[in-house]
């Protein structure tokens, strides 16, 4: 096409009124697998190109429909700008007349709330988190955003009003001291079915589906208790391994929600079950959650000692390292490094991180053996965390920039990276960047913000330091996260 020449479609878009016409995209186009991938990844550039291809939309019509300046539309299409702000996502969805199923894939609330009452599983969101929004300064529609969070967080722990029924059920399961039940033995599930249920709980936790995991844990603990009482031989040993893992999950959920007392009980039960399994790797894996419980109560010296001694135990218990034992060994070293950092011991922190990095190299890559998510990338993530604990905000951000998000398969670890980045920016006095990092974490898993008291404290701290429009945005974030005033 010659310079200055326009297509018929572009000329029509420039005619009075035509730029404001709705962009008509056929329903079948939204159902294409390629489109679903664009929505899940929140690939705005790809979605705008999709609208051009299937809706005949020019850049002028896209700008009019989404409220994004035409120059910015061009930059987004060419990959020079990205978008992450909720309000801009909403405008794009509305401007393209996105169907409700597509809106949910895109991480937004449906317009028709009946879509959410079908009893299906929440639609998973994955993919990379884009860099800060091109519209950071734009005023956000708080009504729309509160509607989104009200839907997304409806099943999450209500931290502001005390523990919900999920945590009460876990408490009942952990404090049931009635002894062996009378009557005939219960109908026992197979070890294979128990293993499947425990695996689902572990993967649910790593995906940040804390409320759903909390609902499932009490009955799972009861079934495992029956299994360990009535099974014999190798099946009983396997049941003890699964029991240790299930208590580990329970303790992890409780630590996330700030319930330290019950977390201690669950962590101790995990260790006891692991010891009965006589499996050194399982014992080491359960020690990780006990280390976290110690850190939560500020027993950093004891936590470091436990993590390092258990790492040595795992290492010495096997003549030849396996992927499982090497992963647990490395993960324990990382736990010890965090505890040492919180104690302010830089030398020990560096030593443990370096040894963990060596273990990651021996493992040969990033894996999730024994649910550790251990590997070179996880070591780098812990360099971010420990730098924050030591108050080295600049180093923490430098390490964070080295992380390739594609290499972080576990959502819980990915979200923690953004929370750690927010903590580092807060230490650095960059309140706006801290807010952006927390919004990125919210995009990935809103439960992480609603569940963790430590994140609530960070949000409150940022809100107190902010002013003007930034304070408005952080206040809005605080409301969505359920932060109490």
Cβ-based neighbour number of residue 84 at 10 Å? 20
Cα separations in angstroms, 320 against 256, 314, 326, 357, 358 = 35, 11, 10, 19, 16
Cβ-based neighbour number of residue 290 at 10 Å? 25
pLDDT band at 352 (very low <50, low <70, confident <90, very high): very high
Angle at 368 between CA 266 and CA 443, to 5 degrees: 85
Least confident of 22-26, 51-55, 260-264, 465-469: 22-26
pLDDT band at 131 (very low <50, low <70, confident <90, very high): very low
What confidence score (pLDDT) does residue 107 get? 73
pLDDT band at 115 (very low <50, low <70, confident <90, very high): very low
pLDDT band at 21 (very low <50, low <70, confident <90, very high): low
Going by C-beta distance under 8 Å and a sequence separation of 6 or more, which residues neighbour residue 360? 330, 374, 375, 376, 378, 379
pLDDT band at 477 (very low <50, low <70, confident <90, very high): very high
Residue with tokens 């993967």: 203
User: Per residue in 222-242, pLDDT tens?
Assistant: 999 999 999 999 999 999 999
Whether pLDDT at 138 is above 70: no
Angle at 181 between CA 179 and CA 185, to 5 degrees: 135
Give the up-direction half-sphere exposure of residue 467: CA atoms within 13 A in the CB hemisphere.
0
What confidence score (pLDDT) does residue 45 get? 92
Going by C-beta distance under 8 Å and a sequence separation of 6 or more, which residues neighbour residue 366? 373, 374, 375, 376, 377, 378, 407, 408, 409
Whether pLDDT at 135 is above 70: no
Whether pLDDT at 145 is above 60: no
User: Per residue in 253-270, pLDDT tens?
Assistant: 999 988 888 999 999 999
**Average pLDDT of span 70-91:** 84
**Average pLDDT of span 86-104:** 83
CB 189, CB 223: distance < 8 Å: yes
Question: CA-CA distance, 104 to 107, in Å (whole number)?
Answer: 5
Q: Does the predicted model carry a pTM greater than 0.75?
A: no
pLDDT band at 111 (very low <50, low <70, confident <90, very high): low
Average pLDDT, the chain: 83
Question: CA-CA distance, 106 to 440, in Å (whole number)?
Answer: 14
Least confident of 75-84, 115-124, 255-264, 331-340: 115-124
User: Per residue in 154-176, pLDDT tens?
Assistant: 333 443 334 455 778 888 888 87
pLDDT band at 397 (very low <50, low <70, confident <90, very high): very high
pLDDT band at 15 (very low <50, low <70, confident <90, very high): very low
Ramachandran angles phi, psi of 79, nearest 5° = 80, 15
pLDDT band at 337 (very low <50, low <70, confident <90, very high): very high
What confidence score (pLDDT) does residue 232 get? 92
In the chain, the domains with their CATH numbers are 8-121 (1.10.260)
Cα separations in angstroms, 237 against 196, 220, 279, 343 = 16, 17, 9, 37
User: Per residue in 400-439, pLDDT tens?
Assistant: 999 998 889 999 999 999 999 999 999 999 999 999 999 9
pLDDT band at 112 (very low <50, low <70, confident <90, very high): low
């Amino acid at each position: 096409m010659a310079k200055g020449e326009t297509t018929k479609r572009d000329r029509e878009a420039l005619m009075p009124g035509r730029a404001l016409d709705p962009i008509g995209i056929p329903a079948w186009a939204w159902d294409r697998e390629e489109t679903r991938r664009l929505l899940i990844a929140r690939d705005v550039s790809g979605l705008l190109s999709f609208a051009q291809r299937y809706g005949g939309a020019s850049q002028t019509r896209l700008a009019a429909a989404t409220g994004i300046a035409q120059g910015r539309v061009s930059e987004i299409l060419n990959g020079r700008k990205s978008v992450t702000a909720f309000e801009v996502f909403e405008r794009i969805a509305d401007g393209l007349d996105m169907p409700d199923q597509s809106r949910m894939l895109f991480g937004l609330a449906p317009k028709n709330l009946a879509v959410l009452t079908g009893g299906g599983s929440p639609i998973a969101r994955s993919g990379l988190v884009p860099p800060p929004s091109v519209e950071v300064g734009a005023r956000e529609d708080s009504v729309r955003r509160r509607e989104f969070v009200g839907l997304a967080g409806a099943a999450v722990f209500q931290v502001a009003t005390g523990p919900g029924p999920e945590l009460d059920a876990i408490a009942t399961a952990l404090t049931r001291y009635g002894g062996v039940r009378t009557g005939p033995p219960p109908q026992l599930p197979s070890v294979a079915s128990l293993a499947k249920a425990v695996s689902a709980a572990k993967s649910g936790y790593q995906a940040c589906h804390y409320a759903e995991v909390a609902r499932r844990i009490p009955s799972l603990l009861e079934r495992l208790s029956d299994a360990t009482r009535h099974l014999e031989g190798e099946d009983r040993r396997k049941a003890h391994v699964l029991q240790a893992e299930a208590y580990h999950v329970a303790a992890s959920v409780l630590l996330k929600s700030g319930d330290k007392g019950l977390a201690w009980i669950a962590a101790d039960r995990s260790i006891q079950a692991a010891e009965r399994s006589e499996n050194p790797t399982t014992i080491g894996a359960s020690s990780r959650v006990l280390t976290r419980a110690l850190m939560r109560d500020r027993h950093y010296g004891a936590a470091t000692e436990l993590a390092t001694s258990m790492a040595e135990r795992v290492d010495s218990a096997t003549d030849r390292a396996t992927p499982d034992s090497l992963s647990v060994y490395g993960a324990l070293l990382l736990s010890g490094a965090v505890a040492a950092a919180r104690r302010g011991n830089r030398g020990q922190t560096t030593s443990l991180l370096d040894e963990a990095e060596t273990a990651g190299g021996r493992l040969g890559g990033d894996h999730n053996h024994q649910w550790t998510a251990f590997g070179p990338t996880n070591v780098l993530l812990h360099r971010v965390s420990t730098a924050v604990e030591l108050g080295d905000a600049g180093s923490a951000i430098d390490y964070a920039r080295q992380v390739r998000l594609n290499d972080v398969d576990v959502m819980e670890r990915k979200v923690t990276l953004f929370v750690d980045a927010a903590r580092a920016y807060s230490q650095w006095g960059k309140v706006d960047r801290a807010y952006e990092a927390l919004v990125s974490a919210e995009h990935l898993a809103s439960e992480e913000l609603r569940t963790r008291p430590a994140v609530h404290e960070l949000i409150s701290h940022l809100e107190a330091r902010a002013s003007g429009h930034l304070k408005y945005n952080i206040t809005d974030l605080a409301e969505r996260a359920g932060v109490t005033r």
